[in-house]
Structure 1
């Protein structure tokens, strides 16, 4: 279960995510994280949050972000909100780490997803920022804070998710694992 002050560390890159506020702390209004990215380049594909916006405030370094098909930069003391239903990404492209505050609104179950993701990463089940195909299908089907890939038409994704998500559960895949979060979905 995510908790205020919890620090998640990617043992391969040294990236850290600290929960400043969880869904429980804010009555579901938001999740706030203090993130330090040492790794360079994209850690996930360009994506769309269907129900949530994300706000970023940079403390040090420079955050690269992708919005409306354009690469842009956020420098120290700058803030931006990436709205829901818009393709985006955010990552570090510089030699220096970037440290920033990220707020996801509303929270839904994104804090559980993040905690779960770090468990999968540290167990070697995420390769180059990618969940395995069946893991991605079950996560997309059963996570309550859905995201979709920007590069694949939504109709095709929905067909795959609704077909392969339930099938993936038969093979033991879960959107959220009790092993990492204390909760299973």
Structure 2
């Protein structure tokens, strides 16, 4: 379980997260993370946070966002808030590492999702688009369905696929929470 001051790194994108406030420590009110994202062509899949607002406060450099299909660059000294259920993704298209504070309200279990996906990345268990195999992904995405969903294919099709495949994945030993062989940096 992620705690305040824990640090995780995503081997695929180079993104680093340092947890400043966690949902467990704020009674679910907020997750606040200090993040560093180096320049990369690797983009996360377009997704939504069905029940959470997410905010980015850029401290240095810039991030490029696609929000509801509109691309915008948010620079140092600026912030952007993405309402719940709005399709988005972001990346660093610049030439220096972006430093920013990211917040999620309410926190829900998104910190567990990040811990799981960063661990999968570090152990080489994500494809070049940042997705685990479908059996493992089905279990994870069912657990975190209130925190995050990819926008394609449509949610109903995803949900039905996950419901069918998750029992097979569990039978094969996959779990919703994945711990890296490298662990969390304290």
| TM-score normalised by structure 1 residue count | 0.89
CA deviation vs aligned residue, 1:138-164 (integer Å, no higher than 9, x gap): 111122634222121122112112211
Query: Aligned-pair distance for 1:173?
Result: 1.2
CA deviation vs aligned residue, 1:111-148 (integer Å, no higher than 9, x gap): 11111222111111122222222222111112263422
In 1, distance between residues paired with 2:147 and 2:8?
22
RMSD, aligned α-carbons: 1.9
Q: Which residue of 2 aligns with 1:27?
A: 27
Q: Which residue of 1 aligns with 2:84?
A: 84
Contact 2:39/2:96 (8 A) holds in 1:
no
> What does 1:17-166 correspond to in 2, within 5 Å?
17-128=17-128, 129-143=130-144, 145-166=146-167
Q: Which residue of 2 aligns with 1:177?
A: 178
In 2, distance between residues paired with 1:12 and 1:179?
14
In 2, distance between residues paired with 1:53 and 1:46?
15
SS at match of 1:131: coil
In 1, distance between residues paired with 2:140 and 2:15?
22
In 2, distance between residues paired with 1:70 and 1:160?
29
SS at match of 2:116: helix
* More displaced stretch, 104-113 vs 41-50: 41-50
Q: How many residues are paired up?
A: 181
Q: Which residue of 2 aligns with 1:4?
A: 4
| TM-score normalised by structure 2 residue count | 0.89
SS at match of 1:130: coil
Q: Residues 170 and 146 from structure 1, CA distance in 2 versus in 1: closer, same or farther, beyond 3 angstroms?
A: farther
